[in-house]
Amino acid sequence: MSAAAWRKITIAVTVHLAFVAIWWIAVIVGDVPEYILPTPWLALTTLGEPNYNWARHFAATTQEVFGGYILATVVGVTFAVLFTWSRRLDEALMPLLITLNMIPKVAMAPLFIVWLRFGIQTNIVITFTICFFPILLNTARGLREVEPELLDLVRSLKGNRWQIFTKIQLPGALPYIFSGMKVATVLAVAGAIVGEFIQSDRGLGWFMLVTQEALNTDAMVMALLLVTLIGIALYGAVIALERAFVVKDARVE
């Protein structure tokens, strides 16, 4: 890694540590009661409480986030590809999808629970719904952004549609796919938590509601940290994939 990259990482880590330190100091100096805001250390110690069943809740939320997200990526990219292959399909379905996109997805969650009953699979569907559109729309845009002269070049060689798709359109759309995927990471975590909030029997979001009743703020804060951690892991995975598959210059920032 270059010196500049190390510098960036060092700065980022330092700022994060500073943030935790300020939080800690603020709680102590301001004499903030535990049930309002615990110190970072106090939140961390709740991990040692066996009754909290952390592993179970963490696993449930992780499944929902990753499951819904991966499903949204696969289905979103597939739909976008179908739309570029069939103009009729695009003309028929795109306006409907744009309308559906206007529905606040969070408001759909109670309906999904009515339809599918609560559980991990329902929260996966909710996560999917919320992540699907940005991935679809970004991919569709990427597939359309082809230099017309590049198409001329391929057509002058009597290249077929499949060649245009595999050699030019799809690799050209890759940066846009990742751009949509990055937007969707934040939504994925929110989707899973919303599902758990509305009705569930496990997961970090559900756990937060339960601990809230007992005003165990330290456990709530820890749950929030873990949810964030899942989001960061997802985002990190997407960035790693992008680095592996997209040439530096082609990345959409």
**Minimum distance of other proteins from residue 167's CB (angstroms):** 7
Per-residue tokens: 174 = 């890759």
Residue closer to other proteins, measured from CB, 87 or 248: 248
**Minimum distance of other proteins from residue 168's CB (angstroms):** 7
**Minimum distance of other proteins from residue 100's CB (angstroms):** 32
Q: Which spans of this chain sit near other proteins (rule: CB under 8 A)?
A: 147, 149-150, 152-159, 163, 167-168, 171-172, 174, 246-250
Residue closer to other proteins, measured from CB, 249 or 253: 249
Residue closer to other proteins, measured from CB, 59 or 141: 141
Torsion of CA 68, 70, 75, 81, to 10 degrees: 150
**Minimum distance of other proteins from residue 84's CB (angstroms):** 18
Residue closer to other proteins, measured from CB, 75 or 170: 170
Beta carbons of 235 and 182 less than 8 angstroms apart? yes
DSSP 167: I
What share of residues in the chain are helix, strand, coil (percent, to 5)?
A: 85, 0, 15
Residue closer to other proteins, measured from CB, 170 or 210: 170
Residue closer to other proteins, measured from CB, 51 or 160: 160
Type and span of the H or E element at 199: none
Beta carbons of 105 and 184 less than 8 angstroms apart? no
By CB neighbour count within 10 A (0-12 exposed, 13-18 middle, 19+ buried), where does 57 fall? Answer: buried
Taking the C-alpha atoms of residue 208 and residue 217, their distance in angstroms, rounded to an integer, is 9
With both helix axes pointing from N to C terminus, report the angle between 120-144 and 54-85 in degrees, rounded to the nearest 10: 30
- Written as one string, the DSSP assignment of 95-129 is HHHHHHHHS-HHHHHHHHHHHH-SSHHHHHHHHHH
DSSP 165: I
